[in-house]
Chain A
Amino acid sequence: MLRKGFLILLIVALGVMLAACAGETSAPAGDSAATGDSAGEAAGDGGQMATIGFTASLTGKLNVESTRQTNGLNLWMKQVNDAGGVALDGGAVQFQSTFYDDESNQDRVQELYTRLATEDGANFLISPYSSGLTAASSVIAEQYEKVMITTGAASDSNYTQGYTLVYQAYTPASKYLTGAVDMIAANSPDLKKLAIVHENDKFSTDVSTAAEEYALEQGFEVVLFEGYDSGTTDFAPIINKVEQAGPDAILGGGHFQDGSTFARQLAEKGVATEYLVLLVAPPEPTFAELGDAAIAVAGPSQWEPQAAYTAEAAEAGGMEWYGPTGEEFVSAYEDEYGEEPSYHAAGGYTAGLVLQAAIEKAGSLETAAVKEALDGLDILTFFGHIKFDTSEEAHGLQVGHEMVYIQWQKNDAGDLVKEIVWPAEAKTAEALHPVR
């Protein structure tokens, strides 16, 4: 009897739920998942409402990065709506967002993006977090002729597939370490010998191969180019090879675990080098736990809170300055979310900012006009320089933005702090060298 009662309850609950869902799905498109800002009413004053569609990884392995990215985008949207929107000929445009959970996997990305583009009437799209998910959504953006700004998608290959409406906010993977080569060339012109030691996975290999090519072009000599397996914990054989090769600087690394282990073991062995630049690990705050082994270790980051891109730097570089300063962004973000923004958050904000700049320049919400504006965009923001490749082979690839290179240094109080040492227009301190 109890069993039967449960069963009936189950069926009723299920029925109610499905009915509730079905009711919502037939609701008018666009407002089904508005952010809850006062945007809706404000648009009633004769203005227009633009919908931005995207998927976020509310669940799954990409949750943390994706949530920060969404936070950044939402902050931009709130600020622009509070300021009255973007002024166009037909009245001010305000923004609202529609988003769904992609569960950190590709299975439903196309389904959800198709829904955003067709049923929800999204005017513009923002990419999901990560290159893989972005690749699946790019097909849909292109097919339904929607401009999509990608953020959190560093892979170069997505921009060589013939898409014309997909624009990258991040620095592509192939340029992760090229700035380090520039930095060495600028700070120590007489250094010539580089060792590149990298994790044997696709991302790190691609980054390292591109860095090697660039270094050779710049007249460096690569005395060691060596890969190590993912999950390596003992770097002794690799370090022996490094010592034999006797490089002036060591570049490479992979992810957090191996990168920090490599840095620690290099310090334990007392390997002398002028520069040590590693991927991914150094920008993480927990890298400081290495203590003295972290000193003078540098690494690339898409953006850092103290990156000092300014209107003056823009003027000096012949670019237009656009949007808030880094300080304004950081304090607004901290007020809103109670934590310091990571580069994922800054990337999300920048995606909105880039869209705003293009819409203002185009004076329209039409895809073709916004595309033309994006093609011609050349601005400096708190996130850095934004300019897109417009060639047929790599349309939409980010060519303006540079990684910033942080280096762990000791401040006057003796605490380990991250300082930006490259590029010149963003640096907060001179690069410390030699490492040992």
Chain B
Amino acid sequence: MKKWLQPGLWIPLLLVAAFAAYPAITGSASARETMFTMIMSIGLASSLNILLGYTGYVSFGHIVFFGLGGYLGFWAIDELGWHLAPAVLLGGVTAGLLALLLGLAILRLRGAYFALATIGVNEAMKSLVMNLPFLGAATGMELNFSVYKSYGGPATALWMVYWSLAAIVLIITVVSYAVKKSKFGLGLMAIREDEDAAGIMGVVSSRAKTWAYVLSAVFPGMIGVLFFFKNGIIEPGSAFRLNLSIELLVMVMLGGAGTVLGPILGGAFYQRLRGLLLTSDLFKNIQLAVAGLLLLLIVLFIPSGAVGWLRERSDRLRRVLE
């Protein structure tokens, strides 16, 4: 019980809750959209962190779960007329199942081989979807505007999507903390440090890795449904966008891999920075160059990420930040 009262948990939770509450306090739709992008990134980065940070497996194609979950959920809403809630669950379950199957196969690979395989999986899934007529093949699917009306109008629907996202990201934060503090998490970290040694110590690494993979896939699947429902359109190109996958890696690295707070800070900082540059008069024409330069400098000088850097500064911070 005591571990649930640690600042390592409530600091990240409070931070996410504060981000989420901001648009409600200002009541601004524009703030809600900005925070949606940011909280979505936090959720995706935190999910990836379970695999990347705790287990030490670099997944370049993690966006495949976001895309596939989004596709299945979108299809259920559009074609089967499902409500958003079960569709979100369907997205999560589908992504989890895919990770389970994939995990059994490709988690035997290590290092660069695994990273390459994940890119392959993403591209293969994109090609598959492009050839599935029931998922709209090459041009994807669009949602009729009347669907939003059945949720009490588009404005209500967008707020509902926003709160659902915030709730899911809060859950991800708790899960991330719980994993880190559990025996299961210890096993993952042992694998990260030395997989063979972990095996000798009694960690069944194939099983542990697979479950870490599944856990890190379920939530992106759910978030995908929310995003594409809000977007009103899903296409193979936007669902399986490798760039977003790489941006997620950057977010985790920026904030600090292997920490609960890191991906939250990294996601928030990265998206806020991009958002500000994008809408700023001064930088909007060169925003990508500026963002790239900043990231390069940060990675060069703070390689352990923001949280890692803070933890190195003082003992007290090390006790408080997870």
Interface residues of A (CB under 8 A from B): 3, 6-7, 10, 14, 17-18, 20-22, 24-25, 32-33, 58-59, 100-101, 103, 105-108, 110-112, 114-115, 118-119, 131-132, 135-136, 138-139, 142-144, 155, 157-158, 160-163, 201-203, 206
Check if B298 sits within 8 Å of A135, measured CB to CB.
no
- Give A14 to B153 CA distance when docked, in angstroms: 41
Evaluate whether A143 and B158 lie within 8 angstroms (CB atoms) in the complex, with A21-B277, A105-B238, A202-B138 already known. Answer: yes
B139 interface contact, C-beta 8 A: yes
Check if B284 sits within 8 Å of A10, measured CB to CB.
no
Interface residues of B in 34-57 (CB under 8 A from A): 34, 36-37
Q: Which residues of B contact A138 (CB under 8 A)?
A: 145, 232
Check if B301 sits within 8 Å of A139, measured CB to CB.
no
Check if A24 sits within 8 Å of B281, measured CB to CB.
yes
A181 CB to closest chain B CB, in angstroms?
23
Check if A162 sits within 8 Å of B144, measured CB to CB.
yes
B81 interface contact, C-beta 8 A: no
- Give A120 to B278 CA distance when docked, in angstroms: 14
Q: Which residues of B contact A101 (CB under 8 A)?
A: 278, 284-285, 287
Check if B145 sits within 8 Å of A161, measured CB to CB.
yes
B294 interface contact, C-beta 8 A: yes
Q: Which residue of A6, A10, A115, A162 is within 8 Å of B279 (Cβ)? A: A115
Check if B29 sits within 8 Å of A21, measured CB to CB.
no
Evaluate whether A163 and B276 lie within 8 angstroms (CB atoms) in the complex, with A110-B33, A114-B30, A157-B139 already known. Answer: no
Interchain residue pairs with CB less than 8 A apart (15): A21-B277, A100-B279, A105-B241, A115-B33, A118-B30, A131-B139, A132-B140, A132-B235, A143-B155, A160-B144, A161-B144, A162-B146, A201-B138, A203-B138, A206-B139
B120 interface contact, C-beta 8 A: no
Q: Which residue of A6, A32, A162 is within 8 Å of B281 (Cβ)? A: A32
Check if B231 sits within 8 Å of A106, measured CB to CB.
yes
Q: Which residues of A contact B232 (CB under 8 A)?
A: 135-136, 138-139, 161
- Give A202 to B237 CA distance when docked, in angstroms: 13
- Give A21 to B275 CA distance when docked, in angstroms: 10
A262 CB to closest chain B CB, in angstroms?
20
Q: Which residues of B contact A136 (CB under 8 A)?
A: 231-233
Closest 9 CB pairs of A and B: A202-B138, A21-B276, A135-B233, A162-B145, A202-B139, A111-B33, A143-B154, A139-B232, A114-B33
Q: Which residues of A contact B143 (CB under 8 A)?
A: 161
- Give A22 to B279 CA distance when docked, in angstroms: 10
B101 interface contact, C-beta 8 A: no
Evaluate whether A58 and B285 lie within 8 angstroms (CB atoms) in the complex, with A114-B29, A142-B145 already known. Answer: yes
Interface residues of B (CB under 8 A from A): 28-30, 32-34, 36-37, 137-140, 142-146, 148, 154-155, 158, 230-233, 235, 237-238, 241, 243-244, 273, 275-285, 287-288, 290, 294, 297-298, 301-302
Residue on A with the closest CB to B298? A10
B249 CB to closest chain A CB, in angstroms?
16
Q: Which residues of A contact B32 (CB under 8 A)?
A: 114
Check if A106 sits within 8 Å of B238, measured CB to CB.
yes
A176 CB to closest chain B CB, in angstroms?
15
Query: Which label, helix, strand, loop or mixed, suits the secondary structure of the B interface?
Result: helix
Q: Which residues of A contact B142 (CB under 8 A)?
A: 135, 157-158, 161
Check if A25 sits within 8 Å of B287, measured CB to CB.
no
- Give A119 to B279 CA distance when docked, in angstroms: 12
Residue from A32, A110, A111 having most chain B Cβ neighbours under 10 A: A111
Q: Which residues of A contact B30 (CB under 8 A)?
A: 111, 114-115, 118-119
Q: Which residues of B contact A112 (CB under 8 A)?
A: 278-279
Residue on B with the closest CB to A108? B37
Check if A18 sits within 8 Å of B231, measured CB to CB.
no
Check if B244 sits within 8 Å of A25, measured CB to CB.
no
Q: Which residues of A contact B277 (CB under 8 A)?
A: 21
- Give A202 to B301 CA distance when docked, in angstroms: 47
Q: Which residues of A contact B37 (CB under 8 A)?
A: 107-108, 111
Evaluate whether A21 and B283 lie within 8 angstroms (CB atoms) in the complex, with A7-B301, A105-B241 already known. Answer: yes
Q: Which residues of A contact B140 (CB under 8 A)?
A: 132
- Give A202 to B280 CA distance when docked, in angstroms: 37
Q: Which residue of A59, A119, A155, A206 is within 8 Å of B288 (Cβ)? A: A59
Evaluate whether A203 and B282 lie within 8 angstroms (CB atoms) in the complex, with A107-B244, A162-B144 already known. Answer: no
Q: Which residue of B146, B284, B294 is within 8 Å of A33 (Cβ)? A: B284
A9 CB to closest chain B CB, in angstroms?
9
Q: Which residues of A contact B237 (CB under 8 A)?
A: 132
Check if B146 sits within 8 Å of A18, measured CB to CB.
no
Check if B233 sits within 8 Å of A111, measured CB to CB.
no
B21 CB to closest chain A CB, in angstroms?
18
Check if A24 sits within 8 Å of B282, measured CB to CB.
yes
Q: Which residues of A contact B145 (CB under 8 A)?
A: 138-139, 142, 161-163
Q: Which residue of B28, B231, B281, B302 is within 8 Å of A110 (Cβ)? A: B231
A173 CB to closest chain B CB, in angstroms?
10
